[in-house]
Amino acid sequence: MATDELNAHADLSALRDAVSGCTRCPLHATRTQAVFGSGSPDADLMFVGEAPGFHEDKQGVPFVGAAGQLLGKLLNGIGLQREDVYIANVLKCRPPGNRDPQPEEIEACEGHLFKQIELIRPKVVATLGNFATKLLSGKPLGITRVHGQEQTVTLGGSRVVLYPLFHPAAALYTPRMLEVLESDFSRLPELLGRSVAPPPPVPAVRVAVVPEAAPVPAEPVQLGLF
């Protein structure tokens, strides 16, 4: 492994430690633990969601509830595993009751995310939902307007392809949105510049996921995801 890579891994580990003790905003007082991110520190593809939910706060890992299961299935559909990508959120600590992130919380926390992107240096950053899309695009346009439309931006000092997607939590409860998410997702291999296995039949995702949504009452759908 090159020295630069080793240094980046060490810096990412140090950042994780710093975030675990972060008190920059009031959310530190109500969290079980900070949820820094998970996956490959060398990933070409990085996902950025909104904030930890109930299950993420308990386990310390992003996207572990029903929305995370859907994300995993969508990844499998394009020939990737969770371990191949990096998954993080705009906020590292759970907003009480899964409410929307507040502007001052995003402002306090965004430096952690920008540093993560700088150290991971992904080729493609896929934003999941409104909050990540608006923050990383620097534009106020909502996800309904811009999903599936890639743009090149500078993040963490590097040029990356920013690719907005609907949040999987929103797609869990809206079949039409799931279809759009699946369609947008299918373009990720092209954006990554390499070919991967073709996706499995669409019903395999829909049938497996919808029944799992019901037992997760602690993760209410947030209007901000749309």
Q: Which stretch binds ligand SF4 (CB under 6 A): 20-28, 53-61, 135-143, 199-207?
A: 20-28
Contact between 88 and ligand SF4 by CB under 6 A: the answer reads no
Q: Which stretch binds ligand SF4 (CB under 6 A): 9-17, 101-109, 179-187, 205-213?
A: 101-109
Pick from 57, 60, 55: nearest CA to 31: 57
Q: Report how far residue 53's alpha carbon sits from residue 18's, in angstroms, rounded to the nearest whole number.
A: 21
Residue 97 CB neighbours (<10 A): 10
Contact between 91 and ligand SF4 by CB under 6 A: the answer reads yes
Instruction: Pick one of 9, 16, 24, 187: the residue that binds ligand SF4 (CB under 6 A).
Output: 24
Considering beta carbons, is residue 1 or 29 the nearer one to ligand SF4? Answer: 29
Considering beta carbons, is residue 55 or 112 the nearer one to ligand SF4? Answer: 112
Contact between 27 and ligand SF4 by CB under 6 A: the answer reads yes
Considering beta carbons, is residue 116 or 127 the nearer one to ligand SF4? Answer: 116
- Give the CA angle between residues 81, 87, 93 to the nearest 5°: 145
* Strands 38-39 and 86-89, sheet pairing: antiparallel
Q: Considering the complex, what minimum distance in angstroms separates the CB of residue 55 from ligand SF4?
A: 17
Q: Considering the complex, what minimum distance in angstroms separates the CB of residue 93 from ligand SF4?
A: 3
Burial class (CB in 10 A: 0-12, 13-18, 19+), 178: buried
Q: Report how far residue 28's alpha carbon sits from residue 190's, in angstroms, rounded to the nearest whole number.
A: 39
Q: Are 43 and 5 in contact (CB under 8 A)?
A: no
Q: Are 69 and 205 in contact (CB under 8 A)?
A: no
SS3 state at 195? coil
Contact between 108 and ligand SF4 by CB under 6 A: the answer reads yes
Q: Considering the complex, what minimum distance in angstroms separates the CB of residue 46 from ligand SF4?
A: 18
Question: Which residues in the 28-87 window bind ligand SF4 by CB under 6 A?
Answer: 28, 34
Q: Which stretch binds ligand SF4 (CB under 6 A): 6-14, 108-116, 186-194, 207-215?
A: 108-116
Quick one: tokens of 172? Answer: 């869990």
**Chain residues in the site for ligand SF4 (CB under 6 A):** 19, 22-25, 27-28, 34, 91-93, 105, 108-109, 112
